[in-house]
């Protein structure tokens, strides 16, 4: 790995994280995740009966191949999110937790105060915390200072496929200020948008709906993999600056007969 993504000291080859919801069937999910090349896979804990486990999403994947990232989707308060994370740890699922505190059922926007409170409690308890947040540079700074392993600003409301509805500037600022990985999470609809996120310096993206609800989820998963790889390669290559005027691809300086 010449350019690994490193989270909490653990290196990953892939900069694409994927979810497990909304697929038409488990086989399609498995094949799409494999095609994506992802190594981090997130699972909504509220979709699992933690008190009486039975066949669930956890039984559909070979977890020796992936870093499981439980998430607290469906939790409306900090207290709920902390309780669900503790249950996941007690079951031996993972000390990694993607914190989602979302009280609004219509727009599914994260609660910045509840998110901060839940993250503080879980960081203090030794969890590796990856918070889903609004594209708020100040909140991102505070969560990083607290000890969160990443910050995960949304591009647009979950599942909308609107791309960068929040605009690129707040995410650029988060990238500029962050010393932990910045993962764009929620709202991406196309591989080109994932590529753009990596081109502007984000470290990774997390995609679920855009893959799972595509007409061909497996093919779309491959497309997102390629988009992420292209975006990161472009970032490392260094794009040209934007200029106010045209600049000829074949300059005339030094050409015989050209006017000075």
Query: Bridge-partner residues for 130, per DSSP?
Result: 98
Evaluate whether residue 214 is within a structural domain: yes
Is residue 119 a contact partner of residue 149, using CB atoms and an 8 Å limit?
Answer: no
Least Cα distance to 13 among 34, 31, 41, 38 occurs for 38
Strand bridging mode 10-12 / 128-133: unpaired
Q: d(Cα 194, Cα 184) in Å, to the nearest integer?
A: 8
Evaluate whether residue 252 is within a structural domain: no
| Residues recorded for the chain | 260
- Number of Cβ atoms within 10 Å of the Cβ of 55: 8
Q: What is the pLDDT of residue 150?
A: 97
Determine the structural domain holding residue 156 and report its residue range.
Answer: 5-237
Evaluate whether residue 205 is within a structural domain: yes
Q: What is the pLDDT of residue 88?
A: 87
Q: How many independent structural domains does the chain possess?
A: 1
Evaluate whether residue 257 is within a structural domain: no
Largest distance between two CA atoms of the chain: 84
Burial (CB count within 10 angstroms: exposed 0-12, middle 13-18, buried 19+), residue 237? exposed
User: What is the per-residue pLDDT across 152-204, written as a single tens digit (0 to 9) for each?
Assistant: 999 999 999 999 988 899 999 999 999 999 999 999 999 999 999 999 999 99
Evaluate whether residue 249 is within a structural domain: no
Evaluate whether residue 254 is within a structural domain: no
Q: d(Cα 129, Cα 71) in Å, to the nearest integer?
A: 10
Evaluate whether residue 212 is within a structural domain: yes
Where does the chain show beta strands of DSSP type E? 5-7, 10-12, 16-19, 40-44, 67-71, 96-99, 128-133, 152-153, 183-185, 204-207
CATH number at 90 reads 3.20.20.70
Q: What is the pLDDT of residue 72?
A: 93
Evaluate whether residue 258 is within a structural domain: no
Q: What is the pLDDT of residue 146?
A: 96
Q: What is the pLDDT of residue 247?
A: 81
Burial (CB count within 10 angstroms: exposed 0-12, middle 13-18, buried 19+), residue 113? exposed
Residues 6+ apart with CB under 8 A from 229: 15
Catalytic residue, from 10, 54, 98, 120: name it.
Answer: 98
Tens of each residue's pLDDT in the chain, 260 residues:
589 999 999 999 999 999 998 999 999 999 999 999 999 999 987 766 655 555 567 778 888 889 999 999 989 999 999 999 998 898 888 899 999 999 988 889 999 999 999 999 999 999 999 999 999 999 999 999 999 999 999 999 999 999 998 889 999 999 999 999 999 999 999 999 999 999 999 999 999 999 999 999 999 999 999 999 999 999 999 988 888 988 887 666 666 555 55
Q: What is the pLDDT of residue 116?
A: 97
Residue 188 zone, left/alpha/beta (φ > 0; ψ -120 to 50; rest): beta
Q: d(Cα 155, Cα 143) in Å, to the nearest integer?
A: 18
Report the helix count and the strand count for the chain, using DSSP H and E: 8, 10
Is 98 in the active site? yes
- Number of Cβ atoms within 10 Å of the Cβ of 172: 16
Is residue 88 a contact partner of residue 94, using CB atoms and an 8 Å limit?
Answer: yes
Q: CA torsion sign, 67 to 116 to 195 to 21?
A: positive
């Amino acid at each position: 790995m010449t350019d690994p993504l490193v989270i909490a000291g653990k290196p990953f080859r892939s900069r694409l994280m994927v979810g497990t919801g909304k697929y038409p069937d488990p086989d399609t999910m498995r094949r799409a995740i494999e095609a994506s090349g992802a190594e981090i896979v997130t699972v909504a804990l509220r979709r699992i009966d933690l008190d009486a486990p039975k066949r669930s999403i956890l039984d559909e994947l070979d977890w020796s191949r992936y870093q499981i990232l439980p998430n607290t989707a469906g939790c409306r308060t900090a207290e709920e999110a902390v309780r669900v994370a503790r249950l996941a740890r007690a079951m031996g699922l993972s000390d990694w937790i993607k914190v989602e505190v979302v009280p609004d059922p219509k727009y599914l926007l994260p609660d910045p105060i509840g998110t901060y409170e839940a993250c503080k409690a879980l960081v203090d308890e030794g969890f590796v915390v990856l918070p889903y947040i609004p594209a708020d540079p100040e909140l991102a700074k505070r969560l990083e200072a607290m000890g969160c392993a990443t910050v995960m600003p949304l591009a647009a409301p979950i599942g909308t496929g609107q791309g960068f509805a929040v605009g690129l500037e707040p995410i650029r600022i988060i990238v500029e200020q962050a010393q932990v990985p910045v993962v764009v999470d929620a709202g991406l609809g196309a591989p080109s948008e994932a590529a753009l996120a990596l081109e502007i310096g984000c470290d990774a993206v997390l995609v679920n709906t855009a893959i799972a609800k595509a007409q061909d989820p497996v093919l779309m998963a491959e497309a997102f993999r390629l988009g992420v790889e292209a975006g990161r390669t472009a970032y490392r290559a260094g794009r040209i600056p934007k200029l106010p005027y045209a600049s000829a691809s074949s300059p005339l300086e030094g050409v015989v007969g050209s006017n000075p």
